[in-house]
Amino acid sequence: MKLTDVKTLARGVIVNTYEFPFSVSRFCPGPALFTLITLNPSTPGSKCTRPAEKLPAAQVRARRPLAPNPGTAGAAAPPPAPAPAQRHRPEVCCGSVAGLAARLQRQFAVRARGGAGPCGRAVFLAFGLGLGLIEEKQAEGRRAVSACQEIQAIFTQKNKLLPGPLDTRRWQGFRLEEYLIGQSIGKGCSAAVYEATMPVLPQNLEVVKSIRPLPGGGPDVIPREEEPASQAPAFPLAIKMMWNISAGSSSEAIFSTMSQELVPASRAALAGEYGAVTYRRFKGGPKQLAPHPNIIRVFRAFTSSVPLLPGALVDYPDVLPPRLHPEGLGHGRTLFLVMKNYPYTLRQYLCENTPSPRLATVMVLQLLEAVDHLVQQGVAHRDLKSDNILVELDADGCPWLVITDFGCCLADERTGLQLPFTSWYVDRGGNGCLMAPEVSTACPGPKAVIDYSKADAWAVGTLAYEIFGLSNPFYGQGRAHLESRSYQEAQLPALPESVPLEARQLVRSLLQREASKRPSARVAANVLHLSLWGEHTLALKNLKLDKMISWLLQQSAATLLADRLTEKSCVETKMKMLFLANLEYEALCQAALLLYSWRAAP
């Protein structure tokens, strides 16, 4: 039954129904339905003495009495309010579908027991009709939720990561001597990274094409005479050697002190001689992060003696052990992490390339998907920056982003994302410039707690400036430099007009000072998904649930077909699969509401 049928069938009763196709808040899981029921004085036999007011939808408010519109041109002054016993005010039934249905059912039962006159019978009929409509909308909402869950289940299975290069060699790769180590890839404040390979890796292993041939020299470097330059092996792996200044030389102490680095490590990565034994002894230690395509995978983690690697005496002599450098302060043993070798960091990629606005939007979307996964796992990275994001290119040259370096992360089983901030000695994270306002302005106290649930999403908002071709406003010095502790939202620089409206508005939303006003990483990712792939659906003036579900089913079929037809899915296909694997009805509705509000704004 259509909503307009209520007015024609319920003679003597005016039923104004205002329908919002999406959930208004997280506490209203189904479509919100607001029903206004008013007696019609023009009906013969009606005892109503006050004319029915035709109110616009803007005046219907949840759980508030209706008020006359003072700004209506030419409207007569309202008559004095009659006594409470004789006043006939319109009744507003509002809230979620389930709550409204329950209220109508109670009133329906009361009227059925007490009987009613002609006017009462009309109201009785209106309640019955309204109840039928509500139950119909409730069933429609349940069908939408069920469809989202079924789509999510299908793509959750499809999104399983491919086996790693060392998965077929379960008991190998836990000793440094098994690897051939090449040149330095880079170094940070706590580690150095080198290219590496295993001599008997499978020949069909995907390799990184941008690696340079190895020069000779050093006990852990391939001698040039053993492998001609023309046939130099590729280095698909990267080994991260941590600098051990204070952890001691025992494997148990090293694993305990550097446990945050092990958050993205799989169980197989810790199955070595020391890892499986020592890591399980810790109580209340860091969480083990479930794999995600936009988050680094650690294939192996083990301890070993510190070797003299190429460039060590020049790049980091002070952290070497005394046996390698007389003035070194490091211990003789440290932690090694084996990962995939990526050709660029995000900073390097942006220095050499200028992505188009659409491509840049897809890059920001990848970071939001990764951050959402971290939040769902109860982990905060706390050190997001362009140097800690790795990049590889697909067959079409589209960048795929991967978050790395979890040395500053918050991944405590006991506290989750709520960090007790009892003193200034509590570590708040790594990158002070890109620290969210609720973190940088926090003051310690007996009951003080820092909420990191939206801190990483705020950092993604700052990185969006770099991805869209501008300098990060929270870096540098001078007038243009902003500080997270004190900036105002009006000071944020405008993104170029070539950037899509939805992306510009989303970046500003992510950078709001109050965390409660920011969208979550899931909702923010859905905004970009809808903006990128759902433009035709969003263009509909009256978007209904059935149209949204039809679009989701079409996207599911097209994505499955595209994934099957190509050996290696392109970046956009992978992002669609992630979107459908994380599909939630409520978060999708919130994202659609945000998009509609931004497009409707002048």
Q: Active site residue: 383, 405, 412, 456, which one? A: 383
Those residues whose C-beta lies under 8 Å from the C-beta of residue 304, and which sit 6 or more positions away, are 175, 176, 333, 334, 336
Inter-residue contact 273 to 255 (CB < 8 Å): no
The span from the CA of 63 to the CA of 423, in Å, is 43
Of 452, 426, 427, which is closest to residue 439 (Cα–Cα)?
452
Inter-residue contact 250 to 344 (CB < 8 Å): no
383 in catalytic set: yes
Residue recorded with tokens 């994001």: 389
The span from the CA of 599 to the CA of 602, in Å, is 8
The span from the CA of 358 to the CA of 140, in Å, is 34
Beta bridge partner(s), residue 524 = none
How many CB atoms are located within 10 Å of the residue 344 CB?
20
Kind and range of the H or E run holding 506: helix 501-510
3 state DSSP class of 283: coil
Type of residue found at 50: R
**Environment class of 448 (CB within 10 Å of its CB; exposed 0-12, middle 13-18, buried 19+):** middle
The span from the CA of 393 to the CA of 399, in Å, is 4
Q: What DSSP assignment string belongs to 447-465? A: T-EEE-TTHHHHHHHHHHH
Inter-residue contact 591 to 148 (CB < 8 Å): no
The span from the CA of 9 to the CA of 23, in Å, is 29
The span from the CA of 31 to the CA of 23, in Å, is 5
Beta bridge partner(s), residue 93 = 35
Largest CA distance in the chain: 108
3 state DSSP class of 346: helix
The span from the CA of 260 to the CA of 271, in Å, is 17
Inter-residue contact 96 to 63 (CB < 8 Å): no
DSSP 314: H
DSSP 356: -
Beta bridge partner(s), residue 196 = 181, 237
- Please report how the helices 455-467 and 521-533 are oriented relative to each other, as an axis angle in degrees rounded to 10: 40
The span from the CA of 484 to the CA of 203, in Å, is 49
Inter-residue contact 513 to 455 (CB < 8 Å): no
Q: Sign of the CA dihedral 485, 191, 453, 571?
A: positive
Positions annotated as catalytic residues are 383
